[in-house]
Structure 1
Amino acid sequence: MLEAWQRIFPGEEVVGRELLARWSQPHRRYHTLDHLALMLAVIDEHAGLADDADAVRLAAWFHDAVYEVFAQDNEERSAALAVRNLEALGFSQARAEEVARLVRLTAGHAVAPGDRNGGLLADADLAILASGKPEYDRYAAAVREEYAAVPDEVFRPGRAGILRKLADLPELYRVVPARAEWSARARANLAAEIRTLLGAP
């Protein structure tokens, strides 16, 4: 993974290794290096759809760099971390702020029309929803593990509500060419998990 970081910052190891350590924290079960790797793969495959593909890649690196399970400000703290580090690495303030904007966008995945950078980042972040059933089931199980301290009677309706908000988005995916196919698979996965969470047949 360090090689992926160094494709943007050749030879830079200090910040790259700090980010890898953050993504490898033991309390993480879904928000891990595997999630980051999937996002980067989607971004690399569709880099031509962004206005600044490296800004989107860096937003992926930083978007869950701060991740505390019950915190409400993970994205804001991750955005601030991005600005500090990127400006220290020579990024202009404007470009660092674009990365920070993208990091904040992952809090709710609200993408404005014409936001190509935001669209690609959101598509990459939500790509797991469109995976095959075995991968999706592993994702759902990993999320449950991250919230192991929450009892089932609280977790199940709470998680179902979050999934409903995603399912109710007018567009789950914005820019990837296969967005129609991804959306169909994702909505089927979301519906199946909601039924399981609520004990519906």
Structure 2
Amino acid sequence: MEELTQAGAEAVRRFCEPFYREPHRAYHTLRHVEATLEALRIRGALSPALAMAVWGHDLINDPHRHDNEEQSAEQFGDWLESQGAGAVLVAEVRRLMLETRHTDPPTDRTAALLVDADLSVFGADDETFWTYEQAIRQEYSFVPWPQYREGRMALLDGFLERERIYTTPEFAGLEAGARVHLRAALEQLETRYAE
């Protein structure tokens, strides 16, 4: 599985698809995986390791937990090993998946491409962005509105405070649109005091 052959890609999809079809998911679904893969593909940046990292990065999605990326990396990495993937590839895919925690700047260009693709929804068209915002609220519907509002505002503000949201030339064209969307989402959160 060092190369992502057609058979390998189909095996990855078969393994991952049930996770992304879990009923509690509204945004972290197959659509998100496919959009992230396409964002890399149309920019000529999709490598086998990146494809596998995209498939695995949201494998575990429990909105009550704060270690989903770590759990995803462990489970997907174990599965890759069981399929005969080499230790170097497994370590690289796990490393890339952990980069999607978005807590620190990407550590290298490959990680930056994955992070930028994962965040490409910020700079997507208006309908896609606002559908994303609604889906995130749906996934966290168990969180009371005041706490959700506070946490979401802090997260969006954190992205706006970055010098650049997108760190690769391939995704730089999304920067202006992403900032417009994030500011609009913050304004909406600021003015909505109740649901």
Task: Please give the TM-score of this superposition, normalised by the length of structure 1.
Answer: 0.87
Match in the other structure for 2:143: 150
> In structure 2, what residue type is equivalent to 1:86?
L
Cα offsets for 1:135-170 (capped at 9, x unmatched)? 111110010111111121111111010101111122
Cα displacement (A) at 1:112: 4.2
Give the Cα–Cα distance (whole angstroms) in 1 for the partners of residues 103 and 119 of structure 2: 9
Give the Cα–Cα distance (whole angstroms) in 1 for the partners of residues 106 and 32 of structure 2: 24
Cα displacement (A) at 1:177: 3.0
> In structure 2, what residue type is equivalent to 1:153?
P
Give the Cα–Cα distance (whole angstroms) in 2 for the partners of residues 14 and 134 of structure 1: 32
1:12-161 superposed matches below 5 A: 12=8, 15-48=12-45, 53-108=47-102, 110-112=104-106, 115-161=108-154
Asked if 2 retains the 8 angstrom alpha-carbon contact of 1:111 and 1:118, the reply is no
Structure 1's consecutive aligned runs of 4 or more residues displaced over 6 angstroms after TM superposition are none
Moved more, 58-67 or 80-89: 80-89
Cα offsets for 1:164-195 (capped at 9, x unmatched)? 1111122211224350x311110110000001
Asked if 1 retains the 8 angstrom alpha-carbon contact of 2:12 and 2:52, the reply is no
Asked if 2 retains the 8 angstrom alpha-carbon contact of 1:15 and 1:85, the reply is no
Task: Please give the TM-score of this superposition, normalised by the length of structure 2.
Answer: 0.89
Match in the other structure for 2:184: 192
Cα displacement (A) at 1:88: 1.9
Give the Cα–Cα distance (whole angstroms) in 1 for the partners of residues 25 and 100 of structure 2: 18
RMSD over aligned Cα, in angstroms?
2.0
Moved more, 87-96 or 139-148: 87-96
Identity %: 30
Q: Secondary structure at the match of 2:170?
A: coil
Cα displacement (A) at 1:82: 2.2
Aligned residues: 190
> In structure 1, what residue type is equivalent to 2:180?
A
Moved more, 80-89 or 25-34: 80-89
Structure 2 stretches lacking a partner, 5+ long = none
Cα offsets for 1:114-143 (capped at 9, x unmatched)? x12101101110000001211111110010
